[in-house]
Chains A and B, each alone.
Chain A
Amino acid sequence: MIIVQALNYLKESASQTAGPFVHIGLAPGAAGFDIYARELGHDIIGPNAKGERITVTGTVTDGTGAPVKDVLIEVWQANAAGIYPGKGAVENSFRGWGRVIPDFDTGVFRFNTIKPGAVRGRNDVMMAPHLNLWLVARGINVGLNTRMYFADENTANASDPVLALIEQANRRDTLIAKADGTIYHFDICLQGAHETVFFDI
């Protein structure tokens, strides 16, 4: 038998669930104690961000319809010009990233940010404005990636190359937050009839 050269790639560390007490590490204030001078993830956009101020609210539910009260959601977004931090000039202290924790009793989450601009996608096709979301929780073995689009961006959504990849057109609506003025309602369903589309990115 001939042994060929080794490729010498490493394997990615396997994911494990964040477990029920993820807040201790990533949001100790929510766990019930203060330890860090600056807890990260509270302010997505900083004080200088241009663009429309919006609030996003919703609930994550499991396959039985029950709210997932111990979820932690991270948000990653571009600024109003569609530029991600690290990719071009953005407003001073615009991080574009935040951590969102629902109310432990109701499971309702709520966060403030700005509406991102359209982002240039592959082959220079523009992607409709969207937030990138990553969900971790007890019972979730590998963090779940999804996107939140905006119901009042129908024209842009109609030509979005990612939404277009969803073969079952009726599932595209699971990624589109309903607009109520500057408040957007976005419920995430982990499993079942109205299951949100999740991505392998």
Chain B
Amino acid sequence: MSPSDLIQRDRQWHPPAHAPDYKTSVARSPHNALLSLQNTDSELTGPTFGHDDIDAGDNDLLRNYAQTGDPIGERIILHGRVLDENARPVPHTLVEIWQANAGGRYRHKKDTYLAPIDPNFGGCGRTLSDDQGRYMFRTVKPGAYPWRNWVNNWRPAHIHISVFGTAFAQRLITQMYFEGDPLIAKCPIVNAIPDPRAIGQLVAALDLNASAPLDAIAYKFDIVLRGHRSTHFENRPEGN
């Protein structure tokens, strides 16, 4: 039996394709309306990953690119759960993150910001959620960095997050921000999201209960993927 269809994505909750204050979106947003499809196997299936795909230390950004010592910066634990819209955990799903270093510089050949590269920091990590949907990374808190949008635009500190779920139609890339960052309210990429509640859902909370005393401070960030519709009447192909 096929899994039931996914709950329709709420396109009024997500940012629109065309968000003119985020200038790059102007020429990279389709003019035509998206064509809505009912789900088939093409959308309801998706790739799976296992522990033979990744290494246990891939989620420790304090160590996974260390050459001569630890990276410079605020040591943090990022943890949370991957859930679906029905509040069920999404177990064994691949979570990938990438970020700038403590000075806001990315280890990427196209990043020319004058803040220096940290020789002990790569800036990417990945893990599988556990059977309860929980995930955890250790890293440094990324710095804000300037970008060429308006001449004085600065991205709030953020970590990019990629999640799979079980269906290709659940595929999601988002960004997590940090509680209290005054740049969040000024960012055109953040403000492409129309609903302040949707923005708040992308802001990780300081979580002292999960901190490692005298070692690393924690932030908690739950990720919600699309859920499956309930099918109260299995014999009705149109669902309920």
Contact = CB atoms under 8 A, between A and B. Distances in A.
B109 A200 contact: no
A142 B2 CA distance: 26
Interface residues of B, dominant DSSP:
loop
A14 B34 contact: no
B28 A15 contact: no
Contacts of A17: 22, 24-25, 173, 175, 189
A119 B40 CA distance: 9
A10 B83 contact: yes
A67 to B, nearest CB: 12
Interface stretch (B51-59, B71-79, B207-215): B51-59
A11 B43 contact: no
Interface stretch (A49-57, A83-91, A106-114, A178-186): A83-91
Interface in A171-201: 171, 190-192, 195-201
Contacts of B226: 12
B41 interface: yes
Contact of A14 (B31, B65, B122, B201): B201
Given A13-B172, A62-B27, A35 B122 contact: yes
B40 A11 contact: no
Contact of A25 (B15, B162, B189): B162
5 contacts: A13-B224, A16-B189, A24-B99, A40-B49, A192-B31
B183 interface: no
B180 interface: no
Contacts of B106: 21, 24, 31
A115 interface: no
A68 to B, nearest CB: 7
Contacts of A13: 172, 174, 201-202, 223-225
B129 to A, nearest CB: 14
A46 interface: no
Contacts of B186: none
Given A12-B225, A31-B107, A201 B27 contact: no
Given A11-B198, A32-B107, A192-B31, A84 B41 contact: yes
A9 B160 contact: no
Interface of B: 7, 9-11, 13-17, 19, 22-32, 34-43, 45-49, 53-55, 58, 64-65, 83-87, 94, 96-99, 106-111, 122-124, 126, 160, 162, 166, 168-169, 171-175, 189-190, 192-193, 197-199, 201-202, 223-227, 237
A139 B41 contact: no
A139 B14 contact: no
A17 B97 CA distance: 13
Contacts of A158: none
A37 B122 contact: no
Contacts of A123: 237
Contacts of A142: 11, 14-15, 17
A140 B109 contact: no
A139 B24 contact: yes
Interface string A18-33: 1111111110100111
B85 A64 contact: no
A195 B33 CA distance: 11
A191 B32 CA distance: 8
Interface in A123-155: 123, 127, 130, 132, 134, 136-145, 147
A141 to B, nearest CB: 4
Looking at A66, A137, A139, A197, the one whose CB has the most chain B CB atoms below 10 A away is: A139
B11 to A, nearest CB: 7
B37 A141 contact: no
A143 B173 contact: yes
Contacts of A18: 160, 162, 173
A85 B47 contact: yes
Looking at A19, A22, A143, the one whose CB has the most chain B CB atoms below 10 A away is: A19
Contact of A10 (B14, B30, B173, B224): B224
